[in-house]
Amino acid sequence: MTVRIQTEDFDAGAEIAALRRGNPKIGAVASFIGVVRDSNEGGAVTEMALEHYPGMTEKAIQEIVSQARARWSVLDALVIHRVGRLQPADQIVLVAVTSGHRGDAFAACEFIMDYLKTRAPFWKREATGSGSRWVEARVSDDVAAGRWRLKG
């Protein structure tokens, strides 16, 4: 399990190749790449600045990955999240999960991303033509994460 918070861009292909290299037990790799959009809430976005709490953020993401590994048959997982100033079309996040089977890989990858959006301490500020604004949490993100709650 690898969690990295960084300002530098990443090469998703190289990262995924390294994650699965040499493990013949891997039958599936599921991944997600988040990208900065040029618009949000009906307005143009010229830049996004992401901030985090060093140490706390990594620990929160490691806990999310651990929860995924407890629920599904995950062989390995990688989360790379960028911070700093990003432009539209820049990559923000990579989540990659390896497993013996696609169902576990897909579910774990989606779970990690849903929980990352709602439980990892990141703060986003968007620059627009009329100034900058903090990005508020979305109800739709909470709903997506809520579907993973264990019943009972």
Residues 6+ apart with CB under 8 A from 105: 28, 29, 30, 72, 74, 97, 98, 99
- Does residue 94 carry a pLDDT above 60? yes
Are the CB atoms for 4 and 77 separated by under 8 Å?
Answer: no
% the chain with pLDDT above 90: 74
Q: Which of 145, 17, 36, 44 is nearest to 83 (CA)?
A: 36
- What is the amino acid identity at position 115? Y
Q: How many CB atoms lie within 10 A of CB 120?
A: 23
- What is the amino acid identity at position 128? T
State residue 150's pLDDT score. 64
Q: Over range 113-133, report the average pLDDT.
A: 89
State residue 152's pLDDT score. 43
State residue 139's pLDDT score. 66
C-alpha distance from residue 107 to each of 37, 77, 86, 112, 127 (Å): 25, 12, 28, 9, 33
How far apart, in whole angstroms, are the C-alpha atoms of residue 1 and residue 132?
35
Which SS3 state, helix, strand or coil, does residue 69 take? helix
- Choose between 152 and 39: higher pLDDT: 39
Q: Over range 21-38, report the average pLDDT.
A: 95
State residue 36's pLDDT score. 94
pLDDT in tens, 37-88: 998 777 788 899 999 999 999 999 999 999 999 999 999 999 999 999 999 9
Mean of per-residue pLDDT scores for the chain? 91
Compute, in degrees rounded to 10, the torsion defined by CA atoms 126, 32, 79, 121: 30
Q: How confident is the model at residue 146 (pLDDT cuts 50, 70, 90)?
A: confident
- The values of phi and psi at residue 137, to 5°, are -60, 145
